[in-house]
Structure 1
Amino acid sequence: MLVRVGECPFPLDPAPEVLEVGFGDGRFTAALARLHPQRRILGAEVSAASVARAIRRFRREGIANVVVYHGQATFALRNLVAPRSLKQVYVNFPDPWPKAKHQENRLLRREFFRRLSTRLAEGGELLLTTDHEAYWRFAQDEALASGLYTVETPPPPPHHLTTKYALKWKEQGRSFYHAVFRKKGEDPDPWPPLPRYPMPHALMSGKLPLLESFPKTVVRFEGGTAVLLEAARALPEGYYFLTHLDEEDLVQDVLLEARPSAHGLYVGLARFGAPLATPGVKAAVAWLVGFLEGQGLKVIQRSY
């Protein structure tokens, strides 16, 4: 049920036909799954607590046609969804980012609509429901500016107003706004999934030093940053290095490791947690290898 991006194929197979962005506690998703039991639904959510609550709900209610991704919807759309496969995308009560200086964080911008067009089937649609009128109008302007959608603004369907936030806002007497963005064209850029890399690592010779202290280090690379936070002793000998990676549409906390192997000291990405090998991981491994070279170790082989 939970997608592990380091282990799953890009795109998912079988391909999702429905995507819900920001599913919260999963009540709308569960209702949608019961309404369309023959459709495979992908939910994307950034909140770990919401993901846990939704998975418990799906298991409790016997929902079997939903897969869950913990992370940004743009990453899921690009890598987990096959071209021209989506019939519907649901975006219920997205963060409106109301301040002008934060509007670049809004999901429903022109670039997103262009990219979405490559994943929607012919006539596929995005359905937006929100209590924020300015965002509702903003999304319409952005979709129309892409030239790839028709836009309709009917009243919100009643079942769209059963989400946690809809019920909360209804009690407060707020107004609701709805829009249907239907694909009429497709962007020429196919927006292919990210390339898959083998596990980045190096083999080194020499004695691993005792690291009584390890400096928190920020590694900058094109497209993001890697932060090596701390080192922890691994038994019987070796170290783990907790590393936070922030790349385009993807945030990961991974473990790098330095440990003896049959071919020398292995320095690279640990498999714990099924991480995705990315340019950021390669940059972090390269820094760690350089750090250990500074401690007197020699590189036998580089694979990153």
Structure 2
Amino acid sequence: MPSGFFALLDDISALVKASAASLDDVPTQVAKTTGKVSGIVIDDTAVTPKYVVGLDPSRELAIIYQIAKKSLINKLLLLSPAALILGYFAPWAITPILMVGGAYLCFEGYEKVHSLFSHHDGDTNREQVKEITPEELEKERVGSAVRTDIILSAEIIAIAYSQVTGQAIVNQIVVMVAVAIFITVAVYGFVGLLVKADDIGLHLAGNKYPPAIQKIGRSVVKFMPHFLSWLGYVGTAAMLWVGAEIIAHGIPFTAHLLHELEQSLSSMPVVAWFAKALACGIAGIIIGFIIEKLVGLVKRAFYRQ
């Protein structure tokens, strides 16, 4: 009996040592995953500010906190467990699900592009206007931001899972949790800094600072509205780009075409990146256009019934 007990302790000790050795590699795996999802992280950062611009400035940080909290909850309690379960029981289902999310990004991005270039007469505009309270607008913006974020987060979690496939379950969980927390804090911390930069500039422009600091503060105040407006366009382009790229990677033929495009311009990395982004952006508009027409047909068919 004692010998059996000590043998069990030896087995437990060996298991703990193996787990510890595996966990030692977590920072490396987190860094590798973060590098692979850098494009999606940039897209997420560019997309989010447009959901806050135009709302009560005193509510900006509170709104960002709501989005960040829901984003982290989705990553930790929904997406990570779903990736682990699907990865174990139905790994084939991960790519199609991501492609559906990519299609939604293309659809939403196309609608925003269409609204920029479409013209409506006065009667149509009056029909579309509806009264909405600031609280309802804030709730609508948060909901829209979370819907977009969950698709980008799903791609991040899927890539994180791909880095730890085949490793111990503890290692998988720790890496995915670390990636979820690190990226959420980084993205929404930076977004918070962006949307409050004008307030920081206004503070620096106060009389209690030297003239040079005041000048910097005034420049920040003047620059940030233009920058946030530009960032909104970047966010829309990012939806189309990322959405189409997710779909392209799920289809062997288009994935091969993207790879060939990158390889042909490998000597010029910046040009290769721009060419791939442009190709995906154009494809995203086409995909969004097709989906928008299909949605319109379904709606008209439904209303006739």
Same fold? TM cut 0.5: no
Structure with more relative contact order (C-alpha pairs < 8 Å, separation 6 or more): 2
TM-score, normalising length: structure 2: 0.21
TM-score, normalising length: structure 1: 0.21
Structure richer in strand, relative to its length: 1
Structure richer in helix, relative to its length: 2
